[in-house]
Amino acid sequence: MLRRDFITLGGTATLLAACGVETKPPYKGVDITGADYGRDFKLPDTDGRMRSVQDFAGKAVVVFFGYTQCPDACPTTLAEIAGAKKLLGADGARVQPVLISLDPERDQPDVLKSYATAFGPDFIALRGTPEQTAAVAKDFKVFYRKVPGSTHGSYTLDHTAASYVYDPKGRLRLYVRYGSGPQALADDLRLILQG
């Protein structure tokens, strides 16, 4: 009886595949394939070169919005991305982390570059003008705002603390919630890289 049920299930799966019914991979992040936002970013890197998702064709791109003086969410997320790359072994080289600064006022290019590459030599940071930053954040539905600090002129930023994953063809595929962990991200990236 168990063998017959297994054969029936296998036959049903084959029939569904033949009929064009697609089964989606079991992502741990939120599948946002086909979303009408976050289709690209066009911002200068810390060397002044304009970058977009097309620059990283053939790689899975993980985009995170943050800032260098972030006390917790940003370093945690960037460390998780670095950890996921490590868990992927040789395939980790096919993952491109991109940090987009939400604080261009304080995140000067040299500071931003040092911060990003502290998590891995291939981490890239982008920094636009305040207007460019606002436009890209809006396009990705990323919330951010200044929160005054305890001393005059000091502040932190409240911001969306999630990552966005593009597949090697440059299509936005996943929204990864803050704190998902490196293993969950690595599992999703493996599926994305397999196509």
Residue that is written with structure tokens 């919330």 in the block: 143
Binding residues: 70, 74, 159
C-alpha to C-alpha distance for 90 and 77, rounded to whole angstroms:
21
What's the first-to-final CA gap in the chain, in angstroms?
A: 36
Strand partners, 96: 61
- Rounded Cα gap, residues 183 and 195, in angstroms: 19
Q: Which residues are annotated as a binding site for Cu cation?
A: 70, 74, 159
Smallest Cα–Cα separation from 162: which of 189, 146, 185, 187? 185
